[in-house]
Amino acid sequence: MLAHSNKLAAILLAAGQSTRFEEGSKLTQLINEKPLISLSLSPLINSNLEKIIVVTGGHAETLNKQLIPIKNKNTNITVLHNENYKLGMGASIAAGMSVLPQNSEGVFICLADMPKITKEIISELSNNYAQEQKTETINKKSIFRPAYQGTPGHPVLFSKTHFEKLSTLSGDHGAKEIIRQNKDQLKLIEVTSPHILFDIDKISDINKLDNH
């Protein structure tokens, strides 16, 4: 059971144009008979989060065909089309933040092209967040990021301390600048899975899945 899971939400960034993928939208590509977007949503759905916001952009019409049946089975999923998706990842994060529940205490920023993120990784971040809330230190950690052999990966969990800045992001750098400006508030959590570093950009990446 995830600690404080009902106060945490997630924004799944699915607004990219798949410019490096050779055959249309990579997020609708079937992997083991399931679309990539479904695999990316699965650990979030199974983590008992308060709200999951899927932000679409490029290939939205095709993607929605995959998302509608998933959304119908999970009432805590909101699908939001970002009309300004061409402005970059930051604009999509800001769009997702605009419909975040007011009582949320933290939000996962997740990438939809990472099919092997697991519920256990979400749980590890969530539990570290919960433990930090119990500490008596003045400067609590407020950004939680997994790392594999020292290399930071995804997803990243931000506490509400950073909600305002997340809501005003733009451009294609996502939340990197927020992390850079708040290194003293960042907690890197070493995990045993390299999956936090693996995403799908090209068809050839799908063939690598069995090795990750």
CATH code assigned at 33: 3.90.550.10
Residue 2: its pLDDT value, please? 43
The pLDDT, as a whole number, for residue 134 is: 86
Q: Is the pLDDT of residue 173 over 90?
A: no
Q: What is the CA radius of gyration of the chain?
A: 16
Residue-range definition of the domain harbouring residue 92: 5-211
- Which residue has better confidence, 203 or 174? 174
What pLDDT, on a 0 to 100 scale, did the predictor assign at position 6?
A: 62
- In terms of Cα–Cα distance, which of 203, 60, 187 is closest to 130? 187
Burial of residue 180, with CB atoms counted within 10 A of its CB: 0-12 exposed, 13-18 middle, 19 or more buried: exposed
C-beta separation of 18 from 205 below 8 A: no
Peptide bond into 155 cis (omega under 30): yes
Strand pairing of 51-56 and 77-81?
A: parallel
Q: C-alpha distances in angstroms, 46 versus 76, 175, 203?
A: 12, 25, 27
The model's confidence at residue 30, banded by pLDDT at 50, 70 and 90, is confident
Residues with Cβ within 8 Å of residue 66, at least 6 apart in sequence: 27, 28, 35, 37, 38
CB-based contact 23:203 (threshold 8 Å): yes
Number of structural domains the chain divides into: 1
SS3 31: strand
pLDDT per residue as tens digits for the range 106-138? 999 999 999 999 999 999 999 999 999 888 777
Residue at 79: amino acid letter: V
What is the reported pTM?
0.93
Q: What is the pLDDT of residue 3?
A: 44
